[in-house]
Structure 1
Amino acid sequence: MVDQPTIGSKTRDALATTVSAALGVAVGFAFLAYLCVEIPRAYNHLTPIWLSNGFLAACLLSSPTRRWPALMLGAAVGALFAGAHAGDSPLVNVILVTLNLSEALLAASAVRRMTGETIDLGRPRDMLAFVVLGGFLAPIVAGGAASSIYTLLLGGDLRTTVVGWVLNDILGMLTIGPCLVVFFKAGLYLRERPLSRDGVLSIVICCLMTAAVFAQTKYPLLFLVPPAMLLAAWRQEVLGAALSAALVAAIAMVLTISGRGPIHLILAGTDTQSTVLQLFLAVSTFVSLPVAAFQRQRRAILAHIVEARAEAERSEARYRLLAESALDIIAHSDLEGRMTYISPAARAILGYEPDELLGERYVKILVDEDRAAIRRVVDAQRYCPEDVTAPPAETVEYRAFRKDGRMIWLESRPTLASDPVTGAPTGITDIIRDVTARKTLELDLRAARAEAEQAAAVKGEFLANMSHELRTPLTAVIGFANLLADEPGLSPRGRRYVDRITTGGRTLLATINDILDFSRLEQGRITLSRRPVMIADLVSEVLEMLASDAAAKGLVLRAVGDEVAPPVLRLDPERVRQVLLNLVGNAVKFTEVGEVRLETDYDLQAGRLRVSVTDTGPGVTEADQALIFARFAQIDAALTREHGGTGLGLAISRGLVELMGGDIGVESTLGQGARFWFEIPARTGQDDDADDEAGEDDIPLPPPGSRVLVVDDNAGNRELVRSVLEAVGVEVAEAVDGEEGVAAAGAAPFDAILMDLRMPRLDGVSAALRIRSEEGPSARSPIIAFSADVRSGALDPVFDGATPKPLTVLSLLSTLAAALATPRPATA
């Protein structure tokens, strides 16, 4: 609604412009027709030129196509009026008007099809299109038809009438048509080439020359006019050519009609004289206008060349400024490696002036061992097959010597430069950067990393030693506490004290195990041992181990979904048990009332076991959930916290789950409990070679009367082993270190040897190897590793089994019984 007045105003303006143009065309067409008929008639001369058709064609070409109907209507009105004034009959008048308008329309349509909506006679292509299509083709076709019809209606010589008529139309098209098209665009041409003194003078000379030639009837000097027209076209280009052509035609026709000029030297009659004049003017116009168009194009090309050269100079100046201001070295070399350009940054980076490094001198400052790397990168691009895409430029680092002798590190990206026309390689362009500081930092980082790795190794060794040193006394503490608890005459108070000792020892052992397990996870020293496991039995075992803690707090501890999972899954039971103990133990620790539920589920299609532990405790805040699996992280980390622990349990659980290829997470809302879950890949069924699991709960015992040598530097551990084994009828001998163990094994036969791994003078592995190699009476006896270290990695092949510290009766007896039941093959 708001835009309607504007739209209406524009529409009215456009309509007014169209009506004005149509009226102008009507008046102009009629006026030119009147001049072309009446002036020659007044001098009893034939019409030498017909300007109206050229006028109408120029108006059409200079107007939008949508205005053509209005312009054609205006031209028809003017033509009918002019014909009636000339005395033509209505029939002849209508026929001639129709043919004249058709000629102008044909000329304009043909030219516009070639040039488009905008015509510019300053372009040789447009000029040629106008001359050929508008100046010759349309007059020949339409003028020939009009003259033929005119002759048939009024009589006369057909050839003479057709030739004169067509030449009249050609001369009109080539004289007034280009001039008007140029005049309509005079502002454009004047902006490009303003009127100059030389241009005006050349037009004046052309007019004077034409007047001089046509003012006399003595000499045939027509040949003097075209050079003057060419001079005007050369000096003032298109506008000068149009003006000179129009003025020459006007002067020549006026003087010729008035009986003067060299045309009258021709004695063949007025028809022939008119034809010669027409040919002279047509040829002169046809020569001057194309020359003006080519001159304009030549000037534009020269101006473009000058501008391109100036732009190239400005671009070179900009790039030179960039190159000279750049902190990195910008260099170019030929294909042989000789430097042809080096930017001034070489002064700051290398200490050399750029001129000092041109030629082959740059290569000489490079370290010899690094030149091949640069050549390899260049050759990979230079000698790439034509049908293969060249590899991208590769960054290369190399060393060079400054002028002061100091070695520095440089980084460059040599890129093959090619000829833009032929594509042939011409040289190498490079940007060279000083990376000495970065390389120094990298070297420092490598040294720091090596130092850190060494420190990690030392830490691992320290932890291994600490494991041995801490677990060795714990073995005696827990073992003797268990033996003491079985004494029948122990008082209630003494039994309570023993239980406290056992609980404290196990708590300390759990803390040590957490720290050592986390250390082994960080070092990647934990390996998995997957085997068929009854998942329901594993869950029951975990809940049974934590049942007493839950009962002490009045919590319900139950399992859900055991029947959903397959009865047998292949997984590492030790690691899964450790994760379950951590999750269920944490739930029991932090839950004061309610229940702890352990739920199992199995995705048969994905082959993944999913376990979740849900409690009714206080829950975990969203902020704490992001930290809960971090090492040493505890939600109640204050000095007065209620719950103990190292804060490693959940971190170890996450590490173990990820080691098994699974995921672990927590879902909780504060005040509504928490749900910890993990899922791991677990295949179903047993291996074909898997042994059937024993269904008995009896502890395997070594054969009574067996002789066992215990090699351990800790007297408490030796006494503990002696107490356990002698209780089942095994004879025990002792050695305090590896040297004594080797001597004892070489002096007497033993059915089995329990060997500690860490001992003074000679460690357990070396002692076992010596026992095997010395071929003594116990050389083929089973040797069992007896150390805390057996938890951390693979067992040395020299051993036939292992039992970890702290010692448990079940582990010791079962390991010893298995070793004694398996015969060792004879050595070669």
Structure 2
Amino acid sequence: MVDLPKIGSKTDDNLAATLLAAVGVAFGFAGLAYLCVEIPRAYDHVTPIWLSNGFLAACLLSSPTRRWPALVVGALLGALAAGAHAGDRPTLNAILTTLNVSQGLMAAVAVRRMTGEAIDLGRPRDMLAFVLLGGFLAPTILGTIAASIHTLMRGGGLLSNVTGWVLNDILGMLTIGPCLLVLFRAKLYLRERPLTRDGVLSIVACGLMTAVVFGQTKYPMLFMVPPVMFLAAWRQEVLGAVLGVVLVAAIALVLTIAGRGPIHLILSGSATQSTMLQLFLAVSTFVALPVAAFQRQRRAIMAELVETSAAAARSEAQFRLLAENALDIIAHSDLHGQMTYISPAARVIVGYEPEELLGARALEILHDDDRAELRRVVDAQRNSPRGVAPPPAEAVEYRVFRKDGAMIWLEARPTLVCDPVTGEPTGITDIIRDVTARKTLELDLRAARAEAEAAAAVKGEFLANMSHELRTPLTAVIGFANLAADEPDLSPRARRYLDRIATGGQTLLTTINDILDFSRLESGRIALNARPTSVADLVAEVLELSGADAMAKGLALAADGLTALPPHVMIDPERVRQVLVNLVGNAVKFTETGKVSLAVVHHENRLRIAVVDTGRGVAAEDQALLFARFSQIDAALNRQHGGAGLGLAISKGLVELMGGEIGVESEEGRGARFWFEIPAHVAQADDEEQAEDDIPLPPPGSRVLVVDDNAGNRELVRSVLEAVGVEVAEAVDGEEGVAAAAAAPYDAILMDLRMPRLDGVSAALRIRAGRGPSAGAPIIAFSADVRMGPLDPVFDGATPKPLTVISLLSTLAEAMSEPTPANA
């Protein structure tokens, strides 16, 4: 809703106020013109002062600019009426009226350009602008033009007419103009400087002195009036100066016109007397008004100085209050390093009274080892180039000795202080804090970290030893179980027993691998080996591995989207296989009926695989626990299915290591959907040529030396290699391995890492350095430790324990295909 009536009412009020002001200007201009002409004429005197133009200038300067056209029109009408009443011919009346009004307008425009919208004669700048531009410039220019035209049309002496006319206008402008401008703002001036007894007495004295001087005609005592006007301006500032000017002008004019006053001592005629009176009043006004303005400014400056001094005192008191009650030490030193102020907090922190540390004595309590660092930080502030901002304050920690001898840690942040006016450096200010408790905690944490790192190293060593000790017998258990299962004469019962042995060994191996893989993930020792891989073949392999378990439970096991995949993508197949085996294995393990399916999608170089089952699902509150280490959300379920609770945690770590993400979507009782997504760029033609083909075999008739302290492992390797036509020799430890390699040539050497007397790395180094017939043969690390970290460069490859036939044969074939080392 638009409130139009209010808008219209406001507009009407503005219009009415403007019209009322214009009418007031018209009557005021005409009335002052009548008084200035008719009263002197009645006493047969020339007009000594012209007030109308100054009246118009004051009214314009006191009004908004938008009202000026109306006020100028009102002044023109009033001036025409006054000129017609005075008997001027219409042409002369129109010309003089236009020039008089133009003079007031010119004065207002010139002053407003200098002072702005709000003129304040209490400001010396505004006062001088009005006196020089409005009081002298405008009357001189337009008064000269008006007097010249009047002389041409009415006759008379040009110089005397111009002089008298200009002085009339100047006197009128300087008399009534400031008076009205001050009266319009009288409330402001009275609020700033209320009337005082001395001020009122000075104004009264001004009037009395003027009456005394102009009430007699014997003595030329005009010089006695300006000092009293000066006193009124000094005591009552602008208001006193204006009232004094009005009183002096009124009394002087009335008494002079009445035939009294020292002006009549001049015997050169009424014209000269009028000119001298005008000069007297102009000089008196010009002295009083600027003095009042400067006095007002001086008072304002003094008040500001007093307030500034009080503010500085309050600020200093507040600073001292803060400094004296601060818990930290506040210190200031000069550019020579001498302490000039130290807050009372020093008494609590270092046990010294502040006075005891002034000068250079504060340096005496510093620890010798920390002096150089503290000096470096302070010098960085103190020696910054002039004109360039100092560097950011740098925190420094150092030790000091308390008065009781105890050593404590302090933290300081020395900062350069510059003079706010000149910008010159004056010293260094510092906030010094006791950080002994924090440093003690840091030292304790550092010791605890060192202890934890030592414990981690011990744990790593323990895991490495346990890996070797557990994998070594598992190699024999799983290997011989598999070899025995291939024997054709086994009874069904014996074959079933061997299957149970192999399955149990494989389960134990999986648990060991999970624990070791998780440890390696935590320590960041797993490296990725991306190569061209067929995702379809990889998924098919994983499904085949889980197929027997799914078939035993009657579950359907399938994969979708394999045909739309690119032939090869760049991924680490072993790590992706490990994640898939965990996800598919869990899905089969926890699904009793229904199916387990894989959805495989490759889009924009991203591989996304989801494993969906129809099992019991996972509650929303338990989903956060799925990827946590050693987490099993259902004790009963875990007792039924077993597991260490590391599979999903390892999967999450591997996926994140590959730059991907993993998650789960499930509702209790409605199955689960585990998914992961990893970067998988499509393999280029050059990469695809490197894709793995069938596993190669070592050349038949090759000679391989097996160095291992476990007889079962040696026998297992012999059984596998002799089955493919490889000749095998054995050594029971590193010493025998070095001797065997020095005695006969071998095409490859399988070297255990942990052996009595001489470990595998040392044995390999001695074989390489011995320059024997097998010094250049490929040496392959054969140990559970190869999973724990990077290989020593002396080895040409590695196959882990427990061994698999595929790993052993492919590693040997690859090593034998490489060129002979240069140091062979």
TM-score (norm 2): 0.90
CA distance in structure 2 between the aligned counterparts of 1:359 and 1:718, rounded to whole angstroms:
82
- Say yes or no: does 1:678 pair with 2:674: no
CA contact (8 A) 1:608 1:683 kept: no
Stretch moving more, 804-813 or 506-515: 804-813
**Other structure's SS at 1:805 match:** coil
Between the aligned partners of 1:427 and 1:790, the Cα distance in structure 2 is 64
Q: Does 2:708 match 1:711?
A: yes
Conserved in 2, the CA contact under 8 Å of 1:701 and 1:814? no
Report the equivalent of 1:225: 225
Q: Identify the range of structure 1 (772-781 vs 551-560) with the bigger mean alpha-carbon deviation.
A: 772-781
* Mapped pair 1:649 → 2:658: no
Query: Counterpart of 1:63?
Result: 63
- Partners of 1:707 and 1:68 in 2: CA distance: 116
Residue 345 of structure 1 deviates from its aligned partner by: 1.6
- The question of 1:794 aligning with 2:790 is answered yes
Equivalent-residue separation in structure 2 for 1:753 and 1:158 (angstroms): 134
Match of 1:294 in 2: 294
Deviates more, 1:518-527 or 1:537-546: 537-546
Q: Hey, what does 2:329 align to over in structure 1?
A: 329
Residue 135 (structure 1) aligns with:
135
Contact kept, 8 Å, 2:332 with 2:341, in 1: the verdict is yes
1:212 aligns to what?
212
Instruction: Specify the alignment match of 1:805 in structure 2.
Output: 801
CA distance in 2, matches of 1:26, 1:748: 135
After superposing the two structures, state which structure 1 stretch, 10-19 or 237-246, moved more.
Answer: 10-19
1:484-530 deviations in Å (ceiling 9; x for gaps): 32343433233223222221221111111111111111122223344
Note if contact 2:124-2:293 (Cα within 8 Å) is conserved in structure 1: yes
Moved more, 22-31 or 765-774: 765-774
On the 8 A contact 2:123/2:294 being kept in 1, the answer is yes
For the aligned residue pairs, the C-alpha RMSD in angstroms reads 3.5
The change in CA–CA distance for 1:80 and 1:549 in structure 2 (over 3 A counts) is same
Change over 3 Å in CA distance of 1:707–1:674 after alignment to 2: closer
- Equivalent pair of 1:712/1:755 in contact (CA under 8 Å): no
| Contact kept? 2:707, 2:733, Cα under 8 Å | no
Once the two structures are TM-superposed, the CA of residue 176 in structure 1 deviates from its matched residue by: 1.6
Q: Which amino acid aligns with 2:38?
A: E
Segments of 5+ residues of structure 1 without an aligned counterpart are: none
Once the two structures are superposed, the pairs formed by residues 134-173 of structure 1 within 5 Å of their partners are 134-173=134-173
Q: Does 1:758 align with 2:754?
A: yes
1:244, distance to aligned residue in structure 2 (A): 1.1
Among 647, 658, 661, the alignment partner of 1:660 is 658
Residue matched to 1:38: 38
Q: Render the CA deviation track for 1:303-347: whole Å, top value 9, x for unaligned.
A: 111211111111121222222222222222222222222222222
Listed one character per residue, the Cα deviations across residues 631-672 of structure 1 (whole Å, up to 9, x for unaligned) are 223454546654332221222223223333444444556626
Output aligned runs, 1:727-806, within 5 Å.
754-760=750-756, 762-769=758-765, 784-799=780-795, 801-806=797-802
Deviation at 1:723, TM superposition (A): 5.4
Given that residues 592 and 615 in structure 2 are in contact (C-alpha distance below 8 angstroms), is that contact kept between their aligned partners in structure 1? yes
Q: How far 1:141 moved relative to its partner?
A: 2.9
CA deviations 1:396-432 (Å, max 9, x no partner) are 2222222222222222222222222332322222211
Change (3 A) 1:235 1:620: same
> AA paired with 1:794?
P
Residue aligning to 2:245: 245
Matches within 5 A, 1:430-509: 430-509=430-509
**TM superposition shift of 1:131:** 1.3
User: C-alpha distance in 2, partners of 1:117/1:287?
Assistant: 26
Deviations 1:700-754 (A, max 9, x none): 57638x68555324x5445545655676787877666556766787899988765
Partner of 1:366: 366
Query: 1:25: which partner in 2?
Result: 25
Contact 1:531 1:571 in 2 (8 A): yes
In structure 2, the CA distance between the partners of 1:145 and 1:590, relative to structure 1 (3 Å rule), is same
Give, in whole Å, the separation in 2 of the partners of 1:691 and 1:137: 100
Report % sequence identity: 74
* Distance across 2 between alignment mates of 1:507 and 1:447: 40
Q: Is this contact kept in 1: 2:705–2:731, CA < 8 A?
A: no
Which residue pairs with 1:427 in the alignment? 427
Contact 2:531 2:691 in 1 (8 A): no
Instruction: Report the secondary structure of 1:40's partner residue.
Output: helix
Match of 1:632 in 2: 630
Whole-Å separation in 2 of the counterparts to 1:791 and 1:515: 12
Distance 2:115 2:721 in 1: 114
Structure 1 contact 660–681 (Cα < 8 Å) conserved: no
How do residues 348-363 of structure 1 correspond to structure 2 at under 5 angstroms?
348-363=348-363
- The Cα shift of 1:539 comes to 3.3
DSSP-derived class of the 1:351 partner: coil
Q: Which residue of 2 aligns with 1:551?
A: 551
Q: Secondary structure at the match of 1:332?
A: strand
How far did residue 258 of structure 1 move?
1.6
Match of 2:201 in 1: 201
Alignment of 1:561-572 (within 5 A): 561-572=561-572
Q: Please give the secondary structure, in 2, of the residue aligned with 1:362.
A: helix
Q: Distance in 1 between matches of 2:722 and 2:393?
A: 78
Task: Tell me how many residue pairs correspond in the alignment.
Answer: 823
> Could you tell me whether the CA contact under 8 Å between 1:617 and 1:674 is conserved in 2?
no
**Alpha-carbon distance in 2 for matches of 1:425, 1:772:** 70
Distance in structure 2 (CA, Å) of the matches to 1:94 and 1:727 = 137
Equivalent residue of 2:789, what SS? coil
Structure 1 length as normaliser, TM-score?
Answer: 0.90
Distance 1:252 1:589, change over 3 A: same
Compute the displacement of 1:826 (Å). 9.1
Partner Cα distance (1:110, 1:726) in 2: 118
Rounded to whole Å, the distance in 2 between the matches of 1:815 and 1:156 is 133
Note closer, same or farther for the CA distance 1:790–1:67 as it changes in structure 2 (3 Å cut): closer
Give the SS at the match of 1:522.
helix
Aligned residue type for 2:648? L
Cα gap change, 1:743 to 1:191, in 2 (>3 Å) = same
Question: How far is the alpha carbon of 1:804 from its aligned partner?
Answer: 2.5
Tell me the alpha carbon deviations over residues 420-458 of structure 1, each in whole angstroms, 9 at most, x when there is no partner.
233232222221112121111111111111111111111
Residues 94-144 of structure 1, C-alpha deviations (whole Å, 9 max, x = no match): 444333333222222222222222111111111112112221222223333
Cα distance in 2 for partners of 1:751, 1:107 equals: 116
Assess if the C-alpha contact under 8 Å between 1:370 and 1:398 holds in 2: yes
- Quote how far apart the aligned CAs of 1:571 are: 4.1
Q: Secondary structure at the match of 1:433?
A: strand
- Partner Cα distance (2:324, 2:334) in 1: 20
| Partner residue, 1:112 | 112
Distance of aligned partners of 1:561 and 1:10 in 2 relative to their CA distance in 1, 3 Å threshold: closer
Distance 2:784 2:498 in 1: 24
CA-to-aligned-CA distance 1:200-234 (integer Å, 9 cap, x gap)? 22222222222222222222121111112111111
Indicate how the Cα distance of structure 1 residues 763 and 545 shifts in structure 2: closer, same or farther if over 3 A, else same.
same
Moved more, 273-282 or 470-479: 470-479
Cα distance, 1:272 vs. partner? 0.9
CA distance in 2 between counterparts of 1:44 and 1:89 reads 21
SS at match of 1:410: strand
2:706 and 2:729 in contact (8 A); partners too: yes
1:167–1:499: structure 2 CA closer, same or farther, 3 Å change rule?
same
Stretch moving more, 641-650 or 411-420: 641-650
